[in-house]
Chains A and B, each alone.
Chain A
Amino acid sequence: MASIGTGYDLSATTFSPDGRVFQVEYAQKAADNSGLTLGVCCKDGVVLAVEKILLSKMLLKESGRRVHLIDQHAILAVAGMGPDGRQLATRARQECEQYRNIFRAPMPGHLLAERIAGYVHVHSLYWHVRPFGCTVMIGALEEKQGPALYMIDPSGTFYRYYGCAAGKGKQGAKTGLEKLDFRQLSCDDALLELAKLINEAHDESKDKPYEMEMIWIKSDTGKASLVPPNLIETVRQRAEQIAREEEMAD
Chain B
Amino acid sequence: MQLRIPSAAVKAQYVDPTQVVVDPVRHTTSPLVTGGSVVGIRCCDGVVIAADTLASYGSMARFQNLSRLVKVTDNCLLGGGGEISDFQEIQRLLENLITKDFCFNDEHTQSPRSVHQYLGRVLYAQRSRLNPLWNSLLVGGYTAGQSFLGMVDLYGTTFESEVLATGFGVLLGLPLLRKAYRPDLTVQEGIKVVEDVYRVLFYRDARSINRIQVATATEAGVTISEPYSLETKWDFKGFVNPRSPYDESTW
Contact = CB atoms under 8 A, between A and B. Distances in A.
B122 to A, nearest CB: 16
A226 interface: yes
B109 to A, nearest CB: 14
A101 B103 contact: no
A226 B105 contact: yes
B190 to A, nearest CB: 32
B92 A71 contact: no
Interface stretch (B94-102, B126-134, B158-166): B94-102
Contact of A68 (B92, B95, B100, B103): B103
B96 A69 contact: no
Contacts of A142: none
A123 interface: no
Contacts of B105: 69, 225-226
B99 A101 contact: no
A71 B103 contact: yes
Contacts of A101: 92, 96
A93 B105 CA distance: 13
Interface residues of B, number: 9
B93 to A, nearest CB: 10
Contacts of A70: 103
Nearest to A70: B103
Interface string B102-137: 111100000000000000000000000000000000
A100 B102 contact: no
Secondary structure at chain B's binding surface: helix, strand, loop or mixed?
Answer: helix
A59 to B, nearest CB: 17
A188 interface: no
B92 A97 contact: no
A5 to B, nearest CB: 39
Interface core residue of B92, B95, B96, B105 (most chain A CB under 10 Å)? B105
Contacts of A100: 95-96, 99
A100 B96 CA distance: 9
Contacts of B92: 101
B95 A69 contact: no
Contacts of B104: 69
Contacts of A93: 100, 103
Interface string A61-102: 000000011111000000000000000000001001100110
Interface in B53-110: 92, 95-96, 99-100, 102-105
B20 to A, nearest CB: 34
Contacts of A69: 102-105
A69 B105 CA distance: 8
A72 B99 contact: yes
Nearest to A75: B103
Contacts of A71: 99, 102-103
Interface string A215-240: 00000000001100000000000000
Interface of A: 68-72, 93, 96-97, 100-101, 225-226
21 contacts: A68-B103, A69-B102, A69-B103, A69-B104, A69-B105, A70-B103, A71-B99, A71-B103, A72-B102, A93-B100, A93-B103, A96-B99, A97-B96, A97-B99, A100-B95, A100-B96, A100-B99, A101-B92, A101-B96, A225-B105, A226-B105
Given A71-B99, A101-B96, 15 more contacts: A69-B102, A69-B103, A69-B104, A69-B105, A71-B102, A71-B103, A72-B99, A93-B103, A96-B99, A100-B95, A100-B96, A100-B99, A101-B92, A225-B105, A226-B105
